[in-house]
Amino acid sequence: MTHKHRLLVHTSRQSIRWGDMDALGHVNNTVYFRYMEQARIEWLSLLFPDRNAFGPTGPVIVNASCTFLEPLVYPADIEVRMYLGDPGRSSIGSSYEIVASGRTFAEGAAKMVWIDLATGRSAPLPDVVVAPVRAAAVAGGG
């Protein structure tokens, strides 16, 4: 995922569970998406702490990807670093690094689109999502 700007917005600390592993003795590929999802949900919960998170609008994921660099194995504690890229009108890209013991084990991405939950149509990104990214772009000479 290439962005003109990329802003670290959240770091999630998670523990690998025994049940995350598969028959090959490493974390199953699908679980990496769960780790990224957990980081994203934690970030959203910080933005919308009333838990009625979004009101009439909210995010959906329109695509997600992961590049597996090294296998993760139990036991381990990981950090999932979540970044946001340049915002559009109703969408924003997020990227992720899954790190343990100072090494990057995977890199991922997910495009979030804000929608009107009643109609399913796209809606403008909330200011609370885009303001930090725009502020960082201006500070960086954007």
Domain segments of the chain as ranges: 7-139
For domain 7-139, the question of CATH label 3.10.129.10 is answered with yes
The whole-angstrom separation of Cα 137 and Cα 37 is 25
* Of the listed ranges 36-40, 54-58, 94-98, 113-117, the one predicted with least confidence: 54-58
φ, ψ for residue 16 (rounded to 5)? -70, 135
The whole-angstrom separation of Cα 81 and Cα 99 is 8
Whether residue 4 is predicted with pLDDT greater than 80 in this model: the reply is no
**Amino acid in position 69:** L
- Distance set, CA 124 to CA 15, 49, 73, 115, 120 (Å): 35, 20, 40, 8, 13
Q: What is the pTM of this model?
A: 0.91
Residue 139: the pLDDT is 80
Angle at CA of residue 46, ends 128 and 9, nearest 5°:
70
